DNA sequence: TAGGCGATGACCT
DNA sequence: GGTCATCGCCTAC
């Protein structure tokens, strides 16, 4: 577990958990990450990188880059490439609490409750003003979109099955800050096969 | 060139 | 809590 070797699947999990509580700065707004999902790259059927294509190429590159993709034709989803290059692992940022640029986020989201401003991958990207223009942005040195430092105190973390994925949906690689109101509700993918004996918590 | 598919969001009951 | 609507992109042929 303390084996944080990049090449191990555990490394992805460790990095995913490590993103919780960190701040993600977007365009004119920033959120404190409260919910993430880990994707194991080439070893994970649910990952876009499972099949190497031009779209997923970015994930095979250096870590700490931003991978943005469009879902259902209208939603943008933001991922943090965690690397290493050969594994193409990434972490989907699912939800966050707006901590800066509140007015900007509100304007973009059109009058929803503050806790829902960045609830859900698509909403979070919208609140931060993220789009395909930010694809490949280096989150450590980027001027606009960037990642803040880790919190001094690690937040309490809960884990569970991933949301919305149609494959490997029973892998408990979804992590969120326990009790945080901005965390999106769990919903299993309609296409996900029923996992025997895999009860959904909460 | 055509078809399939999606890591969703919003709305309705 | 459950169901439906949506659009564009990606992959395969």
Distance A195 CA to B10 C1' (A): 27
pLDDT at A201 > cutoff 80 = no
DSSP A69-125: EEETTTEEEEEEE---TTT--EEEEEEEEEEE-HHHHHHHHTS--GGGTTBSHHHHH
Residue A135 CB partners (closer than 8 Å, separation 6+): A58, A66, A67, A68
Q: Write the pLDDT tens digit of every residue in A100-130.
A: 999 999 999 988 889 999 999 999 999 999 9
Which residues pair with residue A92 across a beta bridge?
A37, A79
Query: How sure is the predictor about A35, in pLDDT bands with cuts at 50, 70 and 90?
Result: very high
Q: Which nucleotide is nearest to A94 (CA to C1')?
A: B7
Residue A114 CB partners (closer than 8 Å, separation 6+): A98, A102, A106
The arithmetic mean of pLDDT across residues A47-53, rounded, is: 87
Q: Write the pLDDT tens digit of every residue in A118-174.
A: 999 999 999 999 988 899 999 998 778 999 999 999 999 998 888 878 788 888 899
pLDDT at A50 > cutoff 80 = yes
Please report the pLDDT score of residue A28 as a whole number: 93
Domains of chain A from N-terminus onward: 12-177 (3.10.300.10)
User: Which A residues between 53 and 72 have a beta carbon under 7 A from any strand C atom?
Assistant: 53-56, 69-70, 72
User: A94 or A165: whose pLDDT is higher?
Assistant: A94
Lowest model confidence (mean pLDDT) among A42-51, A116-125, A180-189: A180-189
Task: State if pTM tops 0.85.
Answer: yes
SS3 A134: helix
Distance A187 CA to C8 C1' (A): 23
């Amino acid at each position: 577990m303390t084996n944080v070797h990049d090449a191990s699947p555990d490394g992805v999990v460790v990095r995913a958990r490590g993103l919780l509580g960190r701040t993600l700065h977007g365009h004119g707004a920033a959120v404190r990450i409260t919910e993430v999902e880990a994707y194991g790259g080439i070893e994970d059927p649910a990952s876009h990188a499972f099949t190497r294509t031009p779209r997923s190429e970015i994930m095979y590159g250096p870590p700490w880059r931003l991978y943005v993709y469009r879902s259902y034709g209208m939603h943008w989803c933001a991922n943090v490439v965690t690397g290493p290059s050969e594994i193409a692992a990434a972490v989907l940022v699912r939800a966050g609490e707006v901590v800066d640029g509140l007015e900007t986020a509100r304007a973009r989201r059109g009058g929803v409750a503050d806790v829902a401003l960045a609830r859900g991958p698509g909403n979070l990207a919208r609140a931060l003003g993220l789009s395909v223009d930010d694809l490949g942005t280096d989150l450590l040195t980027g001027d606009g979109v960037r990642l803040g430092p880790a919190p001094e105190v690690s937040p309490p973390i809960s884990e569970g099955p991933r949301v919305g994925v149609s494959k490997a949906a029973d892998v408990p690689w979804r992590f969120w800050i326990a009790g945080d109101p901005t965390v999106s509700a769990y919903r299993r993918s309609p296409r996900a096969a029923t996992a025997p004996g895999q009860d959904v918590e909460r």
